[in-house]
Copies of this chain bind each other. A is one copy, B any other.
Amino acid sequence: MATVDLETARTAALDAAESLFYARGVQSVGMDEIRSTSGVPLKRLYQLFPSKSDLVEAYLRRRDSDWLTSLTHYADAHADPQQRIPAVFDWLEQWFAEPGFRGCAFVNAFGELGATSPAVANAVADHKAAFRHYLADLTTTAGGTPALAAQLALLAEGAITTAAITGSPAPARQARAAAQLLLSLS
């Protein structure tokens, strides 16, 4: 029966979309390449995602949840709330050092499509809001103010962008040091 693999097909499509869109940008990847990479025939691709924009949005939504899940698992593993914030930057450093790292998928998508697609702009805004929200939780748990949390978010954001453009994971350590300093003042 075919309906069985509907979910697997969806996963395969999203896997292909994620690796291709992230590596090369949305507009330089055609639906045909999604098809050949995923093995999901075009017809079913369009059953699952009525248009390319739908696939793009689903890609962003899934990546949002995966990314944040991975980060929170890593940081929350530290029992001491004071150590969870530096751990965020450690996690970033590992991410930056991964082969194929090319910055924040959401920032990239925003630059590419934010001006022409409100759906993309919203997905990006939601992702960043979720990240700031998580950081705010960590910060208040560690005894910091919301203002500090906002500053830590800026450091992380700047580190991601700078690491992408320079191709070096060093910004993670610089941001971590600044975060520690700001944290120690509160």
Choose, from A5-13, A32-40, A54-62, A162-170, the stretch at the interface: A162-170
What's the least CB distance linking A150 to chain B, in Å? 5
Instruction: Pick from B115, B129, B147, B177: contact of A147, CB below 8 A.
Output: B177
Contact of A111 among B107, B125, B151, B166 (CB under 8 A): B107
Quick check: B151 and A25 within 8 Å, CB to CB?
A: no
Interface residues of A (CB under 8 A from B): 23-25, 27-28, 102-103, 106-116, 121, 124-125, 128-129, 147, 150-151, 153-159, 161-162, 164-166, 171, 174-175, 177-178, 181-182, 185
Pick the most buried of A25, A166, A175: most chain B CB atoms within 10 A of its CB: A25
Contact check, B158 vs A153: say whether CB atoms are below 8 A apart: yes
Using A115-B23, A174-B147 as known contacts, say yes or no to A128 and B162 having CB atoms under 8 A apart. Answer: yes
Complex Cα distance A147/B174, Å? Answer: 7
Q: Are B25 and A111 in contact (CB under 8 A)?
A: yes
With A110-B164, A177-B147: A154-B171 Cβ-Cβ less than 8 Å: yes
The chain B residue with its CB closest to the CB of A112 is B112
- Report B-chain residues with C-beta under 8 Å of the C-beta of A124: 165
| Chain B, residue nearest A150 (CB) | B174
**Nearest CB to that of A185 among chain B residues?**
B181
Check A28–B158 contact: CB distance below 8 A: no
Assuming the A-B contacts A111-B25, A111-B107, are A159 and B154 also in contact, with contact meaning beta carbons closer than 8 angstroms in the complex?
yes
CB <8 Å contact, A125 and B157: no
Kindly provide the distance from the CB of A30 to the nearest chain B CB, expressed in whole angstroms.
13
Distance from A107 Cβ to chain B, minimum over Cβ atoms (Å): 6
Question: Which single residue of chain B is at the shortest CB-CB distance from A22?
Answer: B115
Give the shortest distance, in Å, between A38 (CB) and chain B (any CB): 20
Bound CA span A110–B28, Å: 13
User: Can you name 24 A-B pairs with beta carbons within 8 Å?
Assistant: A25-B112, A25-B113, A25-B115, A27-B27, A28-B116, A102-B114, A103-B110, A107-B107, A107-B161, A107-B165, A110-B164, A124-B165, A125-B166, A128-B165, A128-B166, A150-B174, A153-B158, A154-B159, A154-B171, A157-B157, A157-B158, A157-B161, A178-B178, A181-B185
